[in-house]
Amino acid sequence: MISLDFDVRAFLNHVTTFLRSSIGKRVAIFGLSGGLDSTTVAYLLARSVPKERVLAVLMHEDKDEDYYDALDVVHKLGINHVKRFLKVPDRLSSDDKVTMGNVKARLRMIELYRLANKLGGVVVGTSNKSELMIGYFTKRGDGAADIYPIGDLYKTQVYKLAEYLGVPEKIIKKEPSAGLRPGQKDEKDIGLDYRTLDLILKGLEMFYTPKEISEELNVPLETVLRVRDMVMKSRHKRRKKILRASLRSPSFDRREPGYRMRTIESLMGLETLSIAAWRLSRQSNLVPSYESS
């Protein structure tokens, strides 16, 4: 059975340890848009590390509703924040909406890393698994960060987590948007509602065939195949493609100090999983995607 259920309490224990160990005594820096994902990350950071070491960066183009929602969040949580009203320089402007959106996303990330360099901080990503798996993010833009606390949670699961954390209902009910252009909405861009998308992605993660997913979810086979194609065509966004010219290349197979060689990844490669792993994936919803964040 394809299910998006997960243990929120267990995840919170896990993510708290993850954030504390990853951030250490540094400053956690992240972009706060006032949307669901970034607000949820704000709540996770506020409960995991000292609030004086959390810095939310508000990078809105003007003082719109999202801007004031973001302000309400930082005031409610008591975390530090800075305001950056970013404007795209004329020389970087484009009439193409996609190009312009990518430029804006990369300018935001430049500002986050500028602050990280200045303060000795860690850039915390706010992308969720749904976006990462279908490539609905800008490479070296919102897809660039040091750590991703919700990077292995589907959007549907982020909603459940946000409710548990007490994220304001107004933000939870807000229609998802990257805020890169007027009237832009995520589900309209994707062409599918998040819950259906997430169930299809979960089915693919559990190694169901497209036909099996189509029959269980009662969705057209063409829709399942389209989602699968999104995942396959966006792989370049999740991986570095480096020409191997030596015994050890700086790619996913590099043997770093302390790296445990006897893993499925090192022994068989990320593209191949053992029969045992395949069987386990069909029986459990706890097996993570090998191609997620």
pLDDT digits (tens, 9 = 90+) for 75-118: 999 999 999 887 787 788 887 888 888 898 999 999 999 999 99
The pLDDT assigned to 189 comes to 78
Mean pLDDT check: name the lowest of 27-31, 70-74, 225-229, 273-277: 273-277
C-alpha distances (whole Å) from 126 to each of 5, 63, 109, 249 are 21, 21, 12, 29
Average pLDDT over the chain, rounded to an integer? 84
Q: 225 vs 263, which has greater pLDDT?
A: 225
What's the Cα-to-Cα distance from 210 to each of 190, 207, 219, 281, rounded to whole Å?
19, 9, 10, 16
Query: Which tokens hold the place of 123?
Result: 């850039």
Q: Which of these ranges, 75-79, 141-145, 162-166, has the smallest mean pLDDT?
A: 141-145
Extents of the domains making up the chain: 8-172
Q: How far apart are CA 220 and CA 110, in angstroms?
A: 41
Supply the pLDDT for residue 61. 81
In angstroms, the CA 200 to CA 219 distance is 9
- Which residue is associated with the tokens 């979960």? 202
Task: Give the pLDDT confidence score for residue 289 in this predicted structure.
Answer: 35
**CATH code of the domain made up of 8-172:** 3.40.50.620
DSSP state of 271: T
Residue-wise pLDDT tens digits, 22-67: 999 999 999 999 999 999 999 999 999 999 999 999 998 888 889 9
**Confidence grade of residue 261 (pLDDT, cut at 50, 70, 90):** very low
Q: What is the pLDDT of residues 130-140, one digit of tens each?
A: 999 998 888 88
